[in-house]
């Protein structure tokens, strides 16, 4: 008997959907969607979800709920990460999820986020170990060191997400030199204290919107192409060049670039600073791009949990 499962990943900047069907021996992808909602708008400063952010998120949920319903009997898991951990009005968000999907949202810990991210990455790439998974989100960045056999050797969640760094350090458009220097100092301070032995990493693997936006720029894509982006290697020069461009360019110009919508354009400079800082610490400075990530890990976790 086949099973259809739907994973919804509620990040600080994006909300994503993945629907899979499994017959017990093979798994097939039916739908994969991404919408930018900026759920973490203002969370770093107020510790509350902004009403506009909730409205944008609930509109995406309505769309996703309709897509899921069209696939019939579907098991759903909705996961929220950094932004939802930090807010005092989380119950409003939780009620909105329950009303639309009929399930409770799982606001997962950093440890669970690391486990799901690493499982998702390893489902789609084969890399030399030890590998470092770099997941730059809107509110936080997860760094996961994976040893031989796919075991997690070290994991940490750092408060250096693209939305958080942009709102805290980069108020001007484009940022001033002093603002950029302060943001870089903050990011490097967090990396210094991360406990990651960057010098031992054999492969750095980047996931999520910041990294895939780098890939789209390097490839010169007019429209986003998931297959083209997956397993692209970003060189150190690629990363430094794109970072310098985005951090010094006004948002109104960035948003004219292919594949970069407004809510991504507003934070891509901050996300780029984070990736550039991590790249500087990895031997060779290169980062492999993976299109499989925590979303895939969430979907597969449903299949594992429901397999007889």
Helix (H, G, I), strand (E, B) or coil at 266: coil
Residues 302, 229: one domain? no
Parent domain of 164: 126-289
CATH number, residue 70: 3.30.420.40
Specify if 117 maps to a domain.
no
Specify if 116 maps to a domain.
no
Residues 266, 299: one domain? no
Q: Give the rounded distance of the alpha carbon of 280 from its chain centre.
A: 20
Structure tokens at 305: 């949990």
pLDDT at 234 over 50: yes
Angle between helices 90-101 and 51-70 (to 10 degrees): 20
pTM here is 0.81
Residues 83, 143: one domain? no
Name the pLDDT band for 306 (thresholds 50, 70, 90). Answer: low
Q: Which phi-psi region, left, alpha or beta, contains residue 47 (left: φ > 0; alpha: ψ -120 to 50)?
A: left
Residues 283, 299: one domain? no
**d(C-alpha 41, C-alpha 98), whole Å:** 22
Give the mean pLDDT of the chain: 92
**Mind listing the pLDDT tens digit for each residue in 125-182?**
889 999 999 989 888 898 999 998 778 899 988 989 998 999 999 999 999 999 999 9
Specify if 119 maps to a domain.
no
**Total domains in the fold of the chain:** 2
Name the pLDDT band for 308 (thresholds 50, 70, 90). Answer: very low
Within the chain, strands assigned E span 3-10, 14-22, 27-36, 75-80, 105-107, 131-136, 141-146, 152-158, 203-207, 233-234, 287-289
Residues 70, 26: one domain? yes
Residues 299, 285: one domain? no
Q: What is the dihedral of CA 142, 147, 149, 152, to 10 degrees?
A: -40
Residues 180, 141: one domain? yes
């Amino acid at each position: 008997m086949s099973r259809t499962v739907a994973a919804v990943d509620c990040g600080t900047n994006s909300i994503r959907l993945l629907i899979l069907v499994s017959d017990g021996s093979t798994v097939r992808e039916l739908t994969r969607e991404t919408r930018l909602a900026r759920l973490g708008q203002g969370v770093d400063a107020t510790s509350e979800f902004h009403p506009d952010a909730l409205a944008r998120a609930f509109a995406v949920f309505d769309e996703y709920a309709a897509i899921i319903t069209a696939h019939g009997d579907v098991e759903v898991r909705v996961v929220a990460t950094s932004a939802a951990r930090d807010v005092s009005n989380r119950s409003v968000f939780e009620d909105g999820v329950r009303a639309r999907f009929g399930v409770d949202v799982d606001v997962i810990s950093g440890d669970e986020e690391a486990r799901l991210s690493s499982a998702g990455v390893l489902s789609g790439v084969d890399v030399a170990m030890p590998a470092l998974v770099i997941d730059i989100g809107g509110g936080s960045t997860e760094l996961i060191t994976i040893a031989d056999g796919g075991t997690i050797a070290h994991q940490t969640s750092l408060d250096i997400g693209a939305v958080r760094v942009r709102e805290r350090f980069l108020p001007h458009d484009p940022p001033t030199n002093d603002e950029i220097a302060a943001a870089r100092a903050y990011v490097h301070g967090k990396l210094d204290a991360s406990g990651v032995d960057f010098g031992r990493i054999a492969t750095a693997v980047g996931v999520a919107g910041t990294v895939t936006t780098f890939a789209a720029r390097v490839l010169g894509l007019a429209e986003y192409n998931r297959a083209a982006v997956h397993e692209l290697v970003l060189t150190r020069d690629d990363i430094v060049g794109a970072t310098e461009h985005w951090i010094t360019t006004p948002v109104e110009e960035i948003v004219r670039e292919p594949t970069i919508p407004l809510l991504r354009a507003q934070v891509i400079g901050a996300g780029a600073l984070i990736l550039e800082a991590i790249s500087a610490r990895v031997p060779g400075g290169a980062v492999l791009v993976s299109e499989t990530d925590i979303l895939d890990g969430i979907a597969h976790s449903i299949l594992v949990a429901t397999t007889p």
